[in-house]
Chain A
């Protein structure tokens, strides 16, 4: 009896936290916004999906903590978690709806999202007592499901989890998948998708397909991994190189495959990959926490803009025959983008040296704030009267932008500079005692990182066609830091993953874009808790794991 009391107490406690999360989602308007998107047409919408995730997540936590870990007790625990979460939502409804009805308290004065629409959505559209009971029942049942999930054998759980997540992901990311299918395999698109979200049949197919894949991986994955490790070095090398070449070709063709809208999204991702690589050198390798990279981005962009646009007479004037009037007139000299590009990169490099010099002795937080300040200085300078916003000229590269893969400049562990930067990052004083000239090393890191950012800026200017100071706010720097931490500090594939996840998602998922910083914060928190080395950890961390395997 004691056990049971403790169990439902624990369930309620964890449920309370889950309930707060659910309430938060409701009250910031997220659920209402998400309601518009169907994941599986007519069956489940995105808001329901997110509530499901919340209940399953907290249920799982409760299940893990159940002691003694006996089946019925776990189920009881998770049941209470689900019930509590539903109950808290119910309280919201009662407070908001009933009392409002009696005009005692209008919740909307405080929480704009606490509207009748929200309550309707929470009660599945069924008014009155029925809807509320349904809410409670749903909570309890989903809670039980999370408990069942926990109790399932590992392979079954993994398979079904992946398969279900696959449905969720594809259903939510339909704006990404549908255009591609539309173009190349319309029959597939019709098969899988309904007017909005996956069709029921489609969901089933996706479930089965992913399920089979995961099952195969679970059963055969180890064999493939050990096979790879036992492959001789030269063979490994050829495979790596050829897959890189294939990847490069694929990327060049990609814009044609995915269409215009997605190419735009991909451009943003690509630019942020460049920016991320720059900061990766500064922070991931050399350990310099620099938050001012938007400054170099801006410098790169403005350099190209100033040199290439006829609006800015910085290079002087030339006489040109005006064909319309037959009279020669003076217009500003401009140069081609390809000449301006290296100049922009050098400008960024010099700016990196300029910024790096006064902050050489700073570390940690102080360095972060100081560099952030530099970012703002540049932006404010650009806002000032000397350089005004303008339009670049008509010429230029008009093919749909491709993503350049600059990732292979710094190879990995054995390169000399890697070692110097790593020493710098690990223990600055000892690095100096080993003969490393600190200012030189740090400035090299700064300048290189800045050059990358300037390159991104130059491409950005070319792509957008005009540059405005408000494109270069401090958020850009913060985005870059977030994405490399998320993807994995010091890891080049990590930068790519981070960029796709944090910069690509908002472009594809409108709802994501609206709650972008909420998701960034959540992603970073989860990363820190569950996987601090990032999604795709740097090789340096993988070595630890390899050692543990060998030991």
Chain B
């Protein structure tokens, strides 16, 4: 199996604070790879480096053979990386279907004059895009809410809409930032099944930031644990569960021997 994303000693500083510290990470194709750690460990910062919001100061982040460091976010999307956000960032005044259609942008080829004069090619592409949008909404179970404004959707629906939007660009690598935040157990289970289906049916590689241990242990194949920007452990869920460093990072020093 090949690695789809490789991070070599990636480092990101904010002034004196080292948010991501010489991070070595490899995400294998078609896996669900969780990145966990206490709050402030640098997980979202790393995500931001991968997706182009931040520029890693040192080290390398490679997608296949492309270096993502310093690339602008829109180009990275064209390469096949897509993400969702910790605090949902939908376009509030657009409807659900419109939000998804924005996500399709990398695959829309309409030119300026075509749009201005409403050429048949553009109209066809628009119709196709709309159809695809509805398909995606159906996939996440939101097709009946297609014309609702994003800001009026209930919380769980918004999360799923964000995922639909991220899927619209047909990514190879999908970065999910705390997709089950704020969900109850039923919704969480549904989300877990859904994420697995993304990998199983669509062949997408998933990089996942999560706090709910049930989710992490339940669906991920590999877990990387960060603390203060450094990777302190990596392995299968079973290995991680028993790793004393991980337990200490979460529960404090000296807890390792109390937990089994």
* Chain A residues packing against B (C-beta within 8 Å): 409-411, 413-417, 419-420, 422-423, 426-427, 429-438, 444, 540, 543-544, 547
A409-B116, A415-B115 are contacts. A420–B51 as well, Cβ < 8 Å? no
Chain B contacts for A410, CB-based, 8 A: 116
The answer for the CA separation of A547 and B148 in the assembled complex, in Å, is 7
Convert B97-134 into 0s and 1s, putting 1 for each residue whose CB lies closer than 8 angstroms to a CB of A.
Answer: 01001110110101010011010001001100110000
For B102, give its contact among A415, A419, A540, A544 (CB under 8 Å).
Answer: A419
A416-B108, A419-B101, A429-B53 are contacts. A435–B78 as well, Cβ < 8 Å? yes
Is B160's beta carbon under 8 Å from chain A?
no
| Contact of A416 with B110 in the complex, beta carbons under 8 Å | yes
| Contact of B105 with A422 in the complex, beta carbons under 8 Å | no
Chain B contacts for A544, CB-based, 8 A: 149
What 9 new A-B contacts, CB under 8 Å, besides A434-B74, A435-B103, A435-B169?
A: A416-B110, A419-B94, A422-B93, A426-B92, A426-B94, A434-B103, A434-B169, A435-B106, A438-B74
Of listed B74, B112, B118, B169, residue having the most chain A CB within 10 A = B74
Chain A contacts for B229, CB-based, 8 A: none
Convert B142-154 into 0s and 1s, putting 1 for each residue whose CB lies closer than 8 angstroms to a CB of A.
Answer: 0000011100100
Is B203's beta carbon under 8 Å from chain A?
no
Is B89's beta carbon under 8 Å from chain A?
yes
The answer for the CA separation of A547 and B102 in the assembled complex, in Å, is 22
| Contact of A423 with B94 in the complex, beta carbons under 8 Å | yes
Chain B contacts for A434, CB-based, 8 A: 74, 77, 102-103, 105, 165, 169
Chain B contacts for A547, CB-based, 8 A: 148-149, 152
| Contact of A433 with B149 in the complex, beta carbons under 8 Å | no
Chain A contacts for B85, CB-based, 8 A: 430
Chain B contacts for A429, CB-based, 8 A: 53, 73, 89
Convert B55-74 into 0s and 1s, putting 1 for each residue whose CB lies closer than 8 angstroms to a CB of A.
Answer: 00000000000000000111
Shortest B114–chain A CB gap in Å is 9
Shortest A35–chain B CB gap in Å is 47
Shortest B110–chain A CB gap in Å is 5
Is B237's beta carbon under 8 Å from chain A?
no
| Contact of B91 with A422 in the complex, beta carbons under 8 Å | yes
The answer for the CA separation of A427 and B87 in the assembled complex, in Å, is 13
| Contact of B149 with A543 in the complex, beta carbons under 8 Å | yes
Of listed B51, B115, B152, residue having the most chain A CB within 10 A = B115
| Contact of B89 with A416 in the complex, beta carbons under 8 Å | no
A415-B115, A420-B102 are contacts. A436–B91 as well, Cβ < 8 Å? no
| Contact of B102 with A436 in the complex, beta carbons under 8 Å | yes
| Contact of B93 with A432 in the complex, beta carbons under 8 Å | no
Shortest A549–chain B CB gap in Å is 13
Shortest B108–chain A CB gap in Å is 6
Is B179's beta carbon under 8 Å from chain A?
no
| Contact of B98 with A419 in the complex, beta carbons under 8 Å | yes
Shortest B18–chain A CB gap in Å is 23
The answer for the CA separation of A409 and B112 in the assembled complex, in Å, is 12
Is B52's beta carbon under 8 Å from chain A?
yes
The answer for the CA separation of A521 and B131 in the assembled complex, in Å, is 46
Is B31's beta carbon under 8 Å from chain A?
no
Closest to A414 in B: B126
The answer for the CA separation of A544 and B169 in the assembled complex, in Å, is 27
The answer for the CA separation of A544 and B181 in the assembled complex, in Å, is 27
- For this complex, 10 residue pairs linking A to B, each with C-beta atoms less than 8 Å apart, are A414-B130, A416-B125, A417-B115, A420-B105, A422-B98, A433-B51, A434-B103, A435-B78, A543-B149, A547-B152
Is B95's beta carbon under 8 Å from chain A?
yes
Shortest A237–chain B CB gap in Å is 14
Is B83's beta carbon under 8 Å from chain A?
yes
A414-B126, A435-B169 are contacts. A540–B93 as well, Cβ < 8 Å? yes
Chain A contacts for B110, CB-based, 8 A: 416
| Contact of A413 with B98 in the complex, beta carbons under 8 Å | yes
The answer for the CA separation of A422 and B102 in the assembled complex, in Å, is 9
Chain A contacts for B72, CB-based, 8 A: 432, 438
Shortest A247–chain B CB gap in Å is 20
| Contact of A423 with B91 in the complex, beta carbons under 8 Å | yes
The answer for the CA separation of A540 and B92 in the assembled complex, in Å, is 11
| Contact of A433 with B52 in the complex, beta carbons under 8 Å | yes
The answer for the CA separation of A433 and B103 in the assembled complex, in Å, is 9
The answer for the CA separation of A238 and B246 in the assembled complex, in Å, is 68
The answer for the CA separation of A409 and B118 in the assembled complex, in Å, is 9
Shortest A398–chain B CB gap in Å is 31
| Contact of A437 with B89 in the complex, beta carbons under 8 Å | no
The answer for the CA separation of A435 and B103 in the assembled complex, in Å, is 7
Closest to A548 in B: B152
Closest to B129 in A: A416
Closest to B148 in A: A547
Chain A contacts for B92, CB-based, 8 A: 426
| Contact of A430 with B126 in the complex, beta carbons under 8 Å | no
| Contact of B149 with A432 in the complex, beta carbons under 8 Å | no
The answer for the CA separation of A544 and B148 in the assembled complex, in Å, is 9
The answer for the CA separation of A414 and B149 in the assembled complex, in Å, is 14
The answer for the CA separation of A438 and B74 in the assembled complex, in Å, is 8
Shortest B161–chain A CB gap in Å is 13
In the A-B complex, the 5 residue pairs with the closest CB atoms: A435-B77, A435-B106, A426-B91, A435-B105, A432-B73
The answer for the CA separation of A426 and B94 in the assembled complex, in Å, is 9
The answer for the CA separation of A324 and B152 in the assembled complex, in Å, is 78
Chain A contacts for B89, CB-based, 8 A: 427, 429-430
Chain B contacts for A420, CB-based, 8 A: 102, 105
Shortest A265–chain B CB gap in Å is 31
Chain B contacts for A444, CB-based, 8 A: 112
Chain A contacts for B78, CB-based, 8 A: 435
Chain B contacts for A438, CB-based, 8 A: 72, 74
The answer for the CA separation of A438 and B105 in the assembled complex, in Å, is 12
Closest to B92 in A: A426
The answer for the CA separation of A419 and B115 in the assembled complex, in Å, is 12
Chain B contacts for A426, CB-based, 8 A: 91-94
Chain B contacts for A422, CB-based, 8 A: 91, 93-94, 98
